[in-house]
Amino acid sequence: MSKKINVLLVDDSAVVRQVLLAILSDTPDIHVMGAASDPIFAMDKLAKEWPDVIVLDVEMPRMDGITFLKKIMSERPTPVVICSSLTPRGAETTLQAMAAGAVEIITKPTSGLKNFLLESAPELISAIRAAAQVNVRNLGRRPAPAPLTPATKLTADAMLPAANGHAMAQTTERIVALGTSTGGTQALEAVLTALPRVCPGIVIVQHMPEKFTASFAARLDSLCQIEVREARNNDRIHPGLALIAPGGKHMMVTRSGAFYHVQVVDGPLVNRHRPSVDVLFRSVAKFAGRNATGIIMTGMGDDGARGLKEMLDAGSSTVAQDEASCVVFGMPKEAIKLNAAQRVMGLHEIAQVILHR
Protein backbone atom coordinates (compact mmCIF):
# COMPACT_ATOMS: atom_id res chain seq x y z
CA MET A 1 0.00 0.00 0.00
CA SER A 2 1.38 3.43 -0.93
CA LYS A 3 2.14 5.96 1.79
CA LYS A 4 -0.74 8.19 2.81
CA ILE A 5 -0.51 11.97 2.44
CA ASN A 6 -0.24 13.48 5.93
CA VAL A 7 -2.27 16.71 6.12
CA LEU A 8 -2.44 19.45 8.77
CA LEU A 9 -5.55 21.69 8.76
CA VAL A 10 -5.16 25.27 10.03
CA ASP A 11 -8.38 27.33 10.09
CA ASP A 12 -10.03 29.42 12.80
CA SER A 13 -13.51 28.26 11.77
CA ALA A 14 -14.67 25.23 13.76
CA VAL A 15 -17.17 24.44 10.96
CA VAL A 16 -14.42 24.39 8.33
CA ARG A 17 -12.19 22.17 10.46
CA GLN A 18 -15.06 19.78 11.22
CA VAL A 19 -16.21 19.47 7.59
CA LEU A 20 -12.71 19.19 6.14
CA LEU A 21 -11.78 16.57 8.71
CA ALA A 22 -14.87 14.52 7.80
CA ILE A 23 -14.18 14.81 4.06
CA LEU A 24 -10.52 13.91 4.26
CA SER A 25 -10.98 11.11 6.81
CA ASP A 26 -13.07 9.28 4.20
CA THR A 27 -10.30 9.55 1.58
CA PRO A 28 -8.14 6.39 1.58
CA ASP A 29 -4.85 8.01 0.52
CA ILE A 30 -5.07 11.01 2.89
CA HIS A 31 -4.45 11.05 6.66
CA VAL A 32 -5.31 14.14 8.72
CA MET A 33 -2.55 14.29 11.33
CA GLY A 34 -4.18 17.21 13.12
CA ALA A 35 -6.26 20.39 13.00
CA ALA A 36 -5.43 23.75 14.58
CA SER A 37 -7.50 26.89 15.08
CA ASP A 38 -4.55 29.21 14.46
CA PRO A 39 -0.84 29.13 13.53
CA ILE A 40 0.31 29.23 17.17
CA PHE A 41 -1.47 25.93 17.90
CA ALA A 42 -0.25 24.64 14.52
CA MET A 43 3.37 25.28 15.49
CA ASP A 44 2.89 23.16 18.61
CA LYS A 45 1.78 20.29 16.37
CA LEU A 46 4.64 20.86 13.93
CA ALA A 47 7.12 20.54 16.77
CA LYS A 48 5.96 16.91 17.18
CA GLU A 49 5.22 15.86 13.58
CA TRP A 50 5.63 17.46 10.15
CA PRO A 51 2.92 17.05 7.45
CA ASP A 52 3.27 16.44 3.72
CA VAL A 53 0.69 19.16 2.96
CA ILE A 54 -0.78 22.03 4.99
CA VAL A 55 -4.32 23.34 4.30
CA LEU A 56 -4.23 26.93 5.51
CA ASP A 57 -6.68 29.79 5.97
CA VAL A 58 -5.05 33.20 5.53
CA GLU A 59 -7.10 35.42 7.87
CA MET A 60 -6.80 34.21 11.46
CA PRO A 61 -6.30 35.62 14.97
CA ARG A 62 -2.99 35.75 16.90
CA MET A 63 -0.86 35.13 13.79
CA ASP A 64 -2.08 35.63 10.23
CA GLY A 65 -1.65 32.91 7.63
CA ILE A 66 0.86 34.91 5.57
CA THR A 67 3.28 35.33 8.47
CA PHE A 68 2.91 31.63 9.31
CA LEU A 69 3.46 30.63 5.66
CA LYS A 70 6.64 32.71 5.38
CA LYS A 71 7.92 31.13 8.58
CA ILE A 72 7.23 27.62 7.20
CA MET A 73 8.93 28.38 3.88
CA SER A 74 12.02 29.78 5.58
CA GLU A 75 12.36 26.87 7.99
CA ARG A 76 11.15 23.83 6.03
CA PRO A 77 9.47 24.44 2.65
CA THR A 78 6.20 22.48 2.57
CA PRO A 79 3.34 22.36 0.02
CA VAL A 80 0.54 24.62 1.24
CA VAL A 81 -3.04 24.70 -0.08
CA ILE A 82 -4.73 28.01 0.68
CA CYS A 83 -8.40 28.03 1.73
CA SER A 84 -9.56 31.59 1.09
CA SER A 85 -12.82 33.53 0.84
CA LEU A 86 -13.98 34.88 -2.51
CA THR A 87 -13.76 38.54 -1.55
CA PRO A 88 -11.55 41.36 -2.88
CA ARG A 89 -9.67 41.40 0.43
CA GLY A 90 -9.41 37.61 0.39
CA ALA A 91 -8.03 37.67 -3.14
CA GLU A 92 -5.34 40.20 -2.25
CA THR A 93 -4.30 38.27 0.85
CA THR A 94 -4.26 34.99 -1.04
CA LEU A 95 -2.00 36.50 -3.68
CA GLN A 96 0.43 37.45 -0.92
CA ALA A 97 0.32 33.80 0.14
CA MET A 98 1.05 32.67 -3.41
CA ALA A 99 3.95 35.09 -3.56
CA ALA A 100 5.27 33.48 -0.39
CA GLY A 101 5.15 30.01 -1.94
CA ALA A 102 1.63 28.53 -1.60
CA VAL A 103 0.88 26.11 -4.44
CA GLU A 104 -2.91 25.68 -4.63
CA ILE A 105 -6.08 27.70 -3.97
CA ILE A 106 -9.44 26.46 -2.78
CA THR A 107 -11.98 29.28 -2.67
CA LYS A 108 -14.80 29.31 -0.14
CA PRO A 109 -17.88 31.57 0.03
CA THR A 110 -18.78 33.81 2.94
CA SER A 111 -22.11 31.98 3.42
CA GLY A 112 -23.40 28.45 2.86
CA LEU A 113 -19.97 27.25 3.87
CA LYS A 114 -20.77 23.70 5.00
CA ASN A 115 -22.66 22.70 1.84
CA PHE A 116 -20.05 24.38 -0.36
CA LEU A 117 -17.21 22.45 1.26
CA LEU A 118 -19.08 19.18 0.88
CA GLU A 119 -19.75 19.91 -2.81
CA SER A 120 -16.12 20.96 -3.32
CA ALA A 121 -14.67 17.82 -1.73
CA PRO A 122 -13.32 16.40 -5.03
CA GLU A 123 -11.63 19.72 -5.79
CA LEU A 124 -10.01 19.86 -2.36
CA ILE A 125 -8.83 16.26 -2.57
CA SER A 126 -7.34 16.86 -6.04
CA ALA A 127 -5.60 19.99 -4.78
CA ILE A 128 -4.03 18.10 -1.86
CA ARG A 129 -2.89 15.29 -4.16
CA ALA A 130 -1.39 17.83 -6.56
CA ALA A 131 0.33 19.66 -3.72
CA ALA A 132 1.85 16.40 -2.45
CA GLN A 133 3.63 15.97 -5.79
CA VAL A 134 5.40 19.33 -5.94
CA ASN A 135 9.16 19.70 -5.99
CA VAL A 136 9.71 21.27 -2.57
CA ARG A 137 13.18 22.48 -3.59
CA ASN A 138 11.48 25.06 -5.81
CA LEU A 139 8.93 26.29 -3.25
CA GLY A 140 9.00 29.79 -1.82
CA ARG A 141 11.63 31.12 -4.19
CA ARG A 142 9.34 33.78 -5.69
CA PRO A 143 5.45 33.95 -5.73
CA ALA A 144 0.16 29.10 -7.61
CA PRO A 145 -3.03 27.19 -8.05
CA ALA A 146 -4.69 24.70 -10.08
CA PRO A 147 -7.70 23.11 -8.53
CA LEU A 148 -8.45 19.94 -10.49
CA THR A 149 -12.21 19.70 -10.82
CA PRO A 150 -13.71 16.33 -11.67
CA ALA A 151 -15.64 16.61 -14.93
CA THR A 152 -15.85 15.09 -18.36
CA LYS A 153 -12.47 15.87 -19.86
CA LEU A 154 -13.24 17.91 -22.97
CA THR A 155 -10.58 18.90 -25.49
CA ALA A 156 -10.09 22.24 -27.25
CA ASP A 157 -12.58 20.97 -29.88
CA ALA A 158 -15.26 22.20 -27.47
CA MET A 159 -14.19 25.80 -28.17
CA LEU A 160 -12.78 25.93 -31.72
CA PRO A 161 -11.80 23.58 -34.56
CA ALA A 162 -8.19 22.53 -35.02
CA ALA A 163 -5.82 24.59 -37.12
CA ASN A 164 -5.74 23.44 -40.74
CA GLY A 165 -1.97 23.76 -41.08
CA HIS A 166 -2.29 27.00 -43.05
CA ALA A 167 -1.92 29.77 -40.47
CA MET A 168 -1.79 33.26 -41.90
CA ALA A 169 1.46 34.38 -43.48
CA GLN A 170 4.34 35.61 -41.36
CA THR A 171 4.34 39.29 -40.41
CA THR A 172 6.50 41.53 -38.24
CA GLU A 173 3.87 41.34 -35.47
CA ARG A 174 5.08 38.52 -33.19
CA ILE A 175 3.27 37.18 -30.13
CA VAL A 176 4.17 34.82 -27.28
CA ALA A 177 1.65 32.40 -25.73
CA LEU A 178 2.42 31.10 -22.26
CA GLY A 179 0.60 28.37 -20.33
CA THR A 180 1.13 27.33 -16.72
CA SER A 181 -0.59 25.94 -13.64
CA THR A 182 0.64 24.76 -10.21
CA GLY A 183 3.72 26.79 -9.32
CA GLY A 184 3.04 29.13 -12.23
CA THR A 185 2.66 32.32 -10.25
CA GLN A 186 6.27 32.06 -9.07
CA ALA A 187 7.43 31.11 -12.56
CA LEU A 188 5.52 33.93 -14.27
CA GLU A 189 6.92 36.49 -11.86
CA ALA A 190 10.45 35.26 -12.54
CA VAL A 191 9.97 35.46 -16.33
CA LEU A 192 7.95 38.68 -16.66
CA THR A 193 10.08 40.73 -14.25
CA ALA A 194 13.13 39.86 -16.37
CA LEU A 195 11.63 41.42 -19.52
CA PRO A 196 12.44 44.97 -20.71
CA ARG A 197 9.67 47.42 -21.59
CA VAL A 198 10.04 46.62 -25.30
CA CYS A 199 9.22 42.96 -25.94
CA PRO A 200 6.66 41.00 -27.97
CA GLY A 201 3.03 40.97 -26.88
CA ILE A 202 2.28 38.09 -24.51
CA VAL A 203 -0.91 36.12 -23.81
CA ILE A 204 -1.04 33.97 -20.69
CA VAL A 205 -3.24 31.25 -19.25
CA GLN A 206 -2.53 30.60 -15.58
CA HIS A 207 -4.98 28.17 -14.00
CA MET A 208 -6.51 30.29 -11.27
CA PRO A 209 -10.01 30.70 -9.81
CA GLU A 210 -12.34 33.52 -10.81
CA LYS A 211 -11.76 36.84 -9.01
CA PHE A 212 -8.06 36.16 -8.42
CA THR A 213 -6.62 36.88 -11.86
CA ALA A 214 -7.27 40.63 -11.78
CA SER A 215 -5.40 41.00 -8.50
CA PHE A 216 -2.66 38.68 -9.73
CA ALA A 217 -2.21 40.73 -12.91
CA ALA A 218 -2.17 43.99 -10.92
CA ARG A 219 0.51 42.59 -8.62
CA LEU A 220 2.70 41.57 -11.56
CA ASP A 221 2.12 44.95 -13.20
CA SER A 222 3.51 46.66 -10.10
CA LEU A 223 6.67 44.54 -10.31
CA CYS A 224 7.35 44.52 -14.06
CA GLN A 225 8.67 46.99 -16.60
CA ILE A 226 6.07 45.72 -19.08
CA GLU A 227 2.34 46.32 -18.64
CA VAL A 228 0.47 43.32 -17.20
CA ARG A 229 -3.30 43.17 -16.84
CA GLU A 230 -6.29 40.87 -16.95
CA ALA A 231 -7.51 40.48 -20.52
CA ARG A 232 -10.73 42.07 -21.74
CA ASN A 233 -12.65 40.94 -24.80
CA ASN A 234 -11.21 42.41 -28.03
CA ASP A 235 -8.02 43.70 -26.37
CA ARG A 236 -5.28 44.15 -28.94
CA ILE A 237 -2.05 42.25 -28.28
CA HIS A 238 0.83 44.67 -28.69
CA PRO A 239 4.53 44.90 -27.72
CA GLY A 240 5.21 45.55 -24.06
CA LEU A 241 1.84 44.14 -22.90
CA ALA A 242 1.04 40.83 -21.19
CA LEU A 243 -2.63 39.81 -21.04
CA ILE A 244 -3.71 37.21 -18.46
CA ALA A 245 -6.86 35.18 -19.12
CA PRO A 246 -9.56 35.90 -16.52
CA GLY A 247 -10.37 33.06 -14.15
CA GLY A 248 -13.58 31.34 -15.21
CA LYS A 249 -13.25 32.39 -18.89
CA HIS A 250 -11.45 31.02 -21.93
CA MET A 251 -9.11 33.30 -23.87
CA MET A 252 -8.45 32.88 -27.59
CA VAL A 253 -6.32 34.81 -30.05
CA THR A 254 -7.79 36.12 -33.32
CA ARG A 255 -6.33 38.20 -36.12
CA SER A 256 -7.65 41.30 -37.86
CA GLY A 257 -5.43 42.45 -40.72
CA ALA A 258 -1.88 42.59 -39.40
CA PHE A 259 -2.94 42.83 -35.73
CA TYR A 260 -3.81 40.24 -33.10
CA HIS A 261 -6.61 40.54 -30.57
CA VAL A 262 -8.02 38.33 -27.81
CA GLN A 263 -11.50 36.99 -27.36
CA VAL A 264 -12.57 36.37 -23.76
CA VAL A 265 -15.50 33.98 -23.81
CA ASP A 266 -17.60 31.58 -21.76
CA GLY A 267 -17.47 27.88 -22.51
CA PRO A 268 -17.22 24.43 -20.95
CA LEU A 269 -14.25 23.22 -18.95
CA VAL A 270 -11.52 22.01 -21.31
CA ASN A 271 -9.09 19.50 -19.79
CA ARG A 272 -11.07 20.27 -16.63
CA HIS A 273 -9.97 23.92 -16.74
CA ARG A 274 -11.41 27.30 -17.67
CA PRO A 275 -9.28 29.06 -18.85
CA SER A 276 -7.55 26.24 -20.70
CA VAL A 277 -4.03 26.38 -22.11
CA ASP A 278 -5.05 24.07 -24.97
CA VAL A 279 -7.76 26.50 -26.06
CA LEU A 280 -5.30 29.42 -26.09
CA PHE A 281 -2.55 27.45 -27.87
CA ARG A 282 -4.92 26.09 -30.52
CA SER A 283 -6.17 29.59 -31.33
CA VAL A 284 -2.57 30.80 -31.63
CA ALA A 285 -1.74 27.89 -33.94
CA LYS A 286 -4.78 28.73 -36.05
CA PHE A 287 -4.27 32.48 -36.36
CA ALA A 288 -0.57 33.17 -35.70
CA GLY A 289 1.42 30.09 -36.72
CA ARG A 290 4.97 31.13 -37.61
CA ASN A 291 4.47 34.51 -35.95
CA ALA A 292 4.21 32.94 -32.49
CA THR A 293 6.24 31.31 -29.75
CA GLY A 294 4.54 28.84 -27.39
CA ILE A 295 5.90 28.18 -23.91
CA ILE A 296 4.54 25.60 -21.47
CA MET A 297 5.66 25.85 -17.87
CA THR A 298 5.21 24.23 -14.47
CA GLY A 299 1.85 22.64 -13.77
CA MET A 300 -0.16 19.56 -12.86
CA GLY A 301 -1.85 17.49 -15.57
CA ASP A 302 -1.57 17.76 -19.35
CA ASP A 303 -3.45 20.92 -20.34
CA GLY A 304 -1.49 22.66 -23.11
CA ALA A 305 0.52 19.66 -24.30
CA ARG A 306 -1.61 18.97 -27.37
CA GLY A 307 -2.03 22.67 -28.05
CA LEU A 308 1.73 23.16 -28.04
CA LYS A 309 2.05 20.35 -30.60
CA GLU A 310 -0.54 22.10 -32.77
CA MET A 311 1.49 25.31 -32.51
CA LEU A 312 4.66 23.47 -33.55
CA ASP A 313 2.86 21.87 -36.51
CA ALA A 314 1.65 25.34 -37.55
CA GLY A 315 5.21 26.69 -37.61
CA SER A 316 5.49 28.26 -34.16
CA SER A 317 8.62 28.08 -32.01
CA THR A 318 7.93 25.95 -28.93
CA VAL A 319 9.55 25.61 -25.51
CA ALA A 320 8.94 23.50 -22.39
CA GLN A 321 10.30 24.33 -18.94
CA ASP A 322 12.73 21.72 -17.62
CA GLU A 323 12.06 19.41 -14.69
CA ALA A 324 14.77 20.86 -12.45
CA SER A 325 13.15 24.32 -12.33
CA CYS A 326 9.47 23.22 -12.22
CA VAL A 327 7.40 23.05 -9.06
CA VAL A 328 5.38 20.33 -10.84
CA PHE A 329 6.73 18.83 -14.08
CA GLY A 330 3.37 17.46 -15.30
CA MET A 331 2.39 19.80 -18.14
CA PRO A 332 5.88 20.25 -19.64
CA LYS A 333 6.52 16.51 -19.31
CA GLU A 334 3.38 15.67 -21.30
CA ALA A 335 4.34 18.18 -24.00
CA ILE A 336 7.82 16.69 -24.24
CA LYS A 337 6.33 13.19 -24.56
CA LEU A 338 4.31 14.42 -27.56
CA ASN A 339 7.49 15.88 -29.14
CA ALA A 340 5.75 19.25 -28.96
CA ALA A 341 8.72 21.19 -27.57
CA GLN A 342 11.60 22.17 -29.83
CA ARG A 343 13.59 23.17 -26.76
CA VAL A 344 13.56 22.25 -23.07
CA MET A 345 15.13 24.83 -20.79
CA GLY A 346 15.36 26.23 -17.28
CA LEU A 347 13.15 29.00 -15.96
CA HIS A 348 16.00 31.54 -16.05
CA GLU A 349 16.40 31.06 -19.83
CA ILE A 350 12.76 31.60 -20.85
CA ALA A 351 12.82 35.41 -20.83
CA GLN A 352 15.62 35.29 -23.42
CA VAL A 353 13.48 33.08 -25.65
CA ILE A 354 10.66 35.63 -25.48
CA LEU A 355 13.03 38.39 -26.51
CA HIS A 356 15.05 36.60 -29.17
CA ARG A 357 12.98 33.56 -30.17
Instruction: Give the active site residue among 181, 215, 317, 325.
Output: 181
Neighbours of 36 (CB within 10 A): 21
SS3 of residue 266 by DSSP? coil
- Of the residues 303, 316, 322, 325, only one is catalytic, namely 303
Q: Is the distance from CB of 20 to CB of 46 less than 8 angstroms?
A: no
Q: Can you point out the beta strands (E) in the chain? A: 5-10, 30-36, 53-57, 80-85, 104-108, 175-180, 201-206, 227-230, 236-237, 241-244, 250-256, 259-265, 292-296, 317-321, 343-345
The three-state secondary structure class of 89 is helix
Question: Mean pLDDT in the chain?
Answer: 88
Instruction: Report the pLDDT value the prediction gives residue 140, as an integer from 0 to 100.
Output: 61
Instruction: Verify whether residue 303 is a known catalytic residue.
Output: yes
Q: Report d(CA 221, CA 234) in Å as an integer.
A: 20
Among residues of the chain, what percentage have pLDDT more than 70?
88
Amino acid at 30: I
> Which of 207, 250, 261, 273 is flagged as catalytic?
207
Residue of 1, 54, 55, 56 whose CA lies nearest to 28: 1
- Say whether pLDDT at 295 is over 60: yes
Active site residue 44: no
Q: Is the peptide bond before 275 cis (omega within 30 degrees of 0)?
A: yes
The reported pLDDT for the residue numbered 222 is 95
Residue 344 has pLDDT above 60, yes or no: yes
Q: What is the pTM of this model?
A: 0.85
Tell me the CB-side half-sphere exposure of residue 354, using CA atoms within 13 A: 32
* pLDDT score recorded for residue 106: 83
Pick the residue with more confidence: 315 or 118?
Answer: 315
The predicted pLDDT at position 97 comes to 86
Model confidence at 141, pLDDT cuts 50, 70, 90, reads low
- The secondary structure element, H or E, covering residue 274 is none
**Range in 75-89, 93-107, 134-148 with the lowest mean pLDDT:** 134-148
Would you state the pLDDT for residue 154? 62
Q: Are strands 5-10 and 30-36 parallel, antiparallel or unpaired?
A: parallel
- pLDDT value for 171: 54
Report pLDDT digits (tens) over 30-62.
999 999 999 999 999 999 999 999 999 888 888
Q: Region 315-328: what's the mean pLDDT?
A: 96
